Amino acid sequence: MDLRQSLQRLEWHLWNQWREQAQHSEHLELTNSELQYLYTLLAWDVAGVRLTELAESMHVSKASASTMVRKLEQRGYLVRHPCPEDARAQRLFPSPKALTLKQKEPEIYQAALQHFQHALTAEELEQFIMLMDKACRQLSVGEMSPPKLSSQPYQQL
């Protein structure tokens, strides 16, 4: 298996883990696109995000983001609050229902970590961690920063 295939397999594995968690936590109603919007919204959960910022970070039109936001709001996954900097704008925040998905995130990555701990020797795992850190440090994630991974289980290795 070449590197491209390995990366694709890892991506699919993690995505399937997300879908599995969604199913067990009664979020199976979400489409892949909706889940992607929610995951992006969860990365901004402390400060909230304006619709324009969400559209830009998702690389979609403002109209498309607006439609998705309406759907997610109707399903109870996000809430709107007035923007303190601009009275005409609103900030979007994940609802408590959406935050249950965020609580599942460590479980998903912990399962992947456990797989690598079992598939690799201790020395190989250490090398893998160093190489992944080096390879991923400069990856572009657009204007949005990924969620902070300072909590368990991310620091276990």
Query: pTM of whole model > 0.85?
Result: no
Give dist(CA 19, CA 24) in Å, integer: 9
19: its two tokens: 């879908």
For 84-106, what is each residue's pLDDT tens digit? 888 888 999 999 988 887 777 77
Q: pLDDT for 61-71, tens place per residue?
A: 999 999 999 99
The top-level CATH class assigned to 3-136 is mainly alpha
Domain boundaries, the chain: 3-136
